[in-house]
Amino acid sequence: GEPRLAPRWAVPHAKACFRRAVALAKLGKPAAAIGELLCAQRLLPEDREIVGMLRVLHWGEERRWHAEQPGFVSHVARNAAAEAERSVGASVEARAAFEVLRDPTVANDEADVSRWAVDEDDHPDQAYQPDSRIRPSPNEPTPAPTPAAARKLPESPKAHPLPSLPATPHPVDEPKFAWAKEWICARMVGLVCATESGDIIAVSGLHSLRGEALIKSNARGRRTAMYDLSFELDWQAKVCSQSSTGRLSVCELSSHNDIDECELSVEFDAEPMRGSAHEEALVGLVGPLRMQAAVSAEGRLTQQLWRLLAAFREDFEALQIPTTPKSV
């Protein structure tokens, strides 16, 4: 069938990803380079330059992994490496990728994905060496080195100038953990539930707040609210003329869960006597722990907590909407 043409915008984006991948590979960061190449391959899946570079970097990572395994035997590894090098070097794409990694100009702004053309000639009179160079055979005289001033990148007949991508700021994540802590302290600490008979329970403190909360931005400027928090609320109560203390634990307060998937649990520092009036009154003040039952339990502490947890989600998600300064 006819070859599929990539969208016009795909070529400059793939070019930028390829350029970053080469720079990362030269900095000794092959894993990050492979990630950039995979992005480029999604844009141009049939590009031979990208395929060749991916093959070379995958082979290098596989060789490094084998070297780190326990029981590594050097002569066995050398034989396997030589076989892999012959396999990798058998493709013109991989040979070209080796050359690109040696070329100091490829990762700069003047470079182009199509600037270095794949040589279709298999070089029958030359021997491929695993150190990424094609060396003359022993019977061929060694050519004189070319002066640096005379060196020039070969022009590909299919090369065409591509506009450089505009410089875009790298997306920055905004930490919101401190904001979340302040919000929870301001609204949950101090909650009070009391009955006409004088029984009372109050939230007295927040501790063990852990997890993360941030606004994540992508390259297109889209902002996403993300949080995953757990914390404990200290409570004090006076029921039937007896004082009690304990904790309310809130777990799985997360942006990727529904609000009713959050888990509440209650702990007592001193368990009330089972079946006593003290236990019944204390449990009644705390209220049901499940959201479905708590929201209709008027006057209970957990009803107030569940309403605040829902309000926290709304207020946090509102942070992802960028604020624009008012014009004077």
Q: What is the pLDDT of residues 180-194, one digit of tens each?
A: 999 999 999 999 998
Tens-place pLDDT, residues 162-180: 555 555 556 677 889 999 9
The model's pTM is 0.47
Residues with Cβ within 8 Å of residue 68, at least 6 apart in sequence: none
Does position 7 have pLDDT exceeding 50, yes or no?
Answer: yes
- Same domain, residue pair 45 and 144: yes
Distance CA 18, CA 9 (A): 15
- Same domain, residue pair 56 and 93: yes
- Same domain, residue pair 258 and 303: yes
Distance CA 231, CA 229 (A): 7
Region of 19 on the Ramachandran plot (φ > 0 left; ψ -120 to 50 alpha; else beta): alpha
- Same domain, residue pair 67 and 135: yes
DSSP element (H, E) containing 243: strand 242-254
Enumerate helices (H) and strands (E) in the chain, giving the number of each: 9, 8
> What domain range includes position 178?
174-318
102 domain residue, yes or no: yes
Among residues 87, 116, 150, the one where a domain terminates is: 150
- Same domain, residue pair 29 and 138: yes
233 domain residue, yes or no: yes
49 domain residue, yes or no: yes
- Same domain, residue pair 137 and 195: no
166 domain residue, yes or no: no
- Total domains in the chain come to 2
Tens-place pLDDT, residues 63-83: 776 666 665 555 555 555 555
Q: What is the pLDDT of residue 117?
A: 34
328 domain residue, yes or no: no
**Mean pLDDT (whole number) for 84-109:** 55
Q: Which residue has the higher pLDDT, 71 or 320?
A: 320
CATH number at residue 195: 3.15.10.20
Most trustworthy range by pLDDT among 32-46, 54-68, 193-207: 193-207
Query: DSSP assignment, residue 9?
Result: T
Among residues 135, 150, 165, the one where a domain terminates is: 150
Among residues 115, 135, 150, the one where a domain terminates is: 150
- Same domain, residue pair 205 and 133: no
Residue 115 confidence class, pLDDT cut points 50, 70, 90: very low
35 domain residue, yes or no: yes
Q: What is the pLDDT of residue 97?
A: 64
Q: What percent of the chain has pLDDT over 90?
A: 20
Name the least confident of 23-27, 30-34, 321-325.
Answer: 321-325
**Mean pLDDT (whole number) for 7-32:** 81
- Same domain, residue pair 178 and 308: yes
Q: Comparing C-alpha atoms, which of 140, 107, 128, 113 is closest to residue 46? A: 113
326 domain residue, yes or no: no
Residue 95 confidence class, pLDDT cut points 50, 70, 90: low
